[in-house]
Amino acid sequence: MKKALAYLALSFTALATTQALDFDLLSFGSTTYSVDSGSTAAYSQTLSGITMNTTPSGGDTWYNSSMTPVTSNWSSYTPFSLNMSVTGTNPNFAFSVELFDADFSSINKYSGSTAGLTSNASNAPLTLNIPGNGNLTSVQYVQFTWDAGGSTVNATVNKFVGTTAVPEPSTYALLGMGAVALGGYAVRRRRRA
């Protein structure tokens, strides 16, 4: 019995150890996302993403009027990041990304920064800044806002990336060993009785 319990304890410990799986929730260069003409940040949209080569002011923003959701439920894909690149001098600008539902109610507002980004696209982590209704099952609108400005930035935002936890293969092996040990214990106990 002690061995069986030990295997189960190891199994649950292994469940806490996960690996990341990137999932492209929304490609900003796709036809499912188009920037609204009311956006204040200068931008160009191509198949690879949205490029801003401008000197933004704090508060400059771009957003969409609607989008076709890539997945209907984003709640299992956290934390979030923006896959983006910065060419030329990186002014380390802060930015925010806000998600809205179909009623344009704020779901959550996240903060990020271009710090550390280069011309090679990489993921800029997003931190929950201002919680909204938290309903990630009905994301309809995305808004990007520069929180700083005054210097030229040449940034391309490629996609919104969510990360989901995936159990490691060893987790399944430990769970299997624990189940076998418990089964063996049950059989042994029946034979004794």
pLDDT in tens, 31-46: 889 999 889 988 999 9
Give the whole-angstrom CA distance, residue 28 versus residue 82.
10
Per-residue pLDDT, averaged over 112-118, amounts to 95
DSSP helix, strand, coil percent of the chain (3-state; round to 5): 20, 40, 35
Q: Answer yes or no: are the C-beta atoms of 75 and 163 closer than 8 Å.
A: no
Answer yes or no: is pLDDT of 183 > 80. Answer: no
* pLDDT value of position 72: 73
Dmax (CA) of the chain:
81
Handedness of CA 149, 155, 160, 164 (dihedral sign): negative
pLDDT value at 119 more than 90:
yes
> Would you put residue 79 in left (φ > 0), alpha (ψ -120 to 50) or beta?
beta
Confidence check: pLDDT of 160 > 80: yes
Global pTM?
0.76
Task: Return d(Cα 134, Cα 100) in angstroms, integer.
Answer: 10
Residue given tokens 């609204």 in the structure block: 36
Q: What is the pLDDT of residue 14?
A: 47
Per-residue pLDDT, 127: 96
Task: Report pLDDT digits (tens) over 139-153.
Answer: 889 999 999 888 999
Please determine, for residue 83, whether its predicted confidence score (pLDDT) is greater than 90: yes
